Structure 1
Amino acid sequence: MTAKIKEHICSTCNGTGFPPSGQSTFPGRKIYPTKCSTCLGKGRISEASQSDLGALNLARAKR
C-alpha cells in the first residue's frame, strides 16, 4: 500500500516561508527575516497519509 502525500499552505506564515515579525521598525533599522520553523521556509507542509485496516497515520514527509 502506498502513502498519499498531501500538501497544504503553512498556517504559521500563510505560505510566505517567513513568519510575521514582531520587530519594531525604526527608520534606518535593518530587519533580517527568519525562516518559518513550521515549514522550514518552504511555505507549504507535506503530509503523508497511509491507511492500514482503517487506521490513519499522519506523518510529515521530509523531502
Structure 2
Amino acid sequence: AVREVASSLQIKGGQIIHPTRVSLSGKKVGPGLFELMVVLGQDKTIKRLKEAIEKIKEVKK
C-alpha cells in the first residue's frame, strides 16, 4: 500500500517509507518498515502514525 501511495503521488517510495519508519520507531535507521509494522501490530502502528500526524500539525501552526 505504501508503494501504491508513493506511485499515485508520483514520488519515490523512500520519500514515504523513511519518514514513516521514523514515526514508528523514532530511529532513522532500523528494521524494514514492513517488518516493523508486523512486529508492532496494527493497533500500535496506527496509534503511532496518528501521534506523528498530530505532532506534525502542531509544528505547522
For this structure pair, what is the TM-score category when the shorter chain's length is used for normalisation? under 0.3
TM-score, scaled to structure 1: 0.20
Normalized per residue, the structure richer in helix is 2
Normalized per residue, the structure richer in strand is 1
- Greater RCO structure (CA 8 Å; 6+ sep): 1
Compare CA radii of gyration and give the structure with the larger one.
1
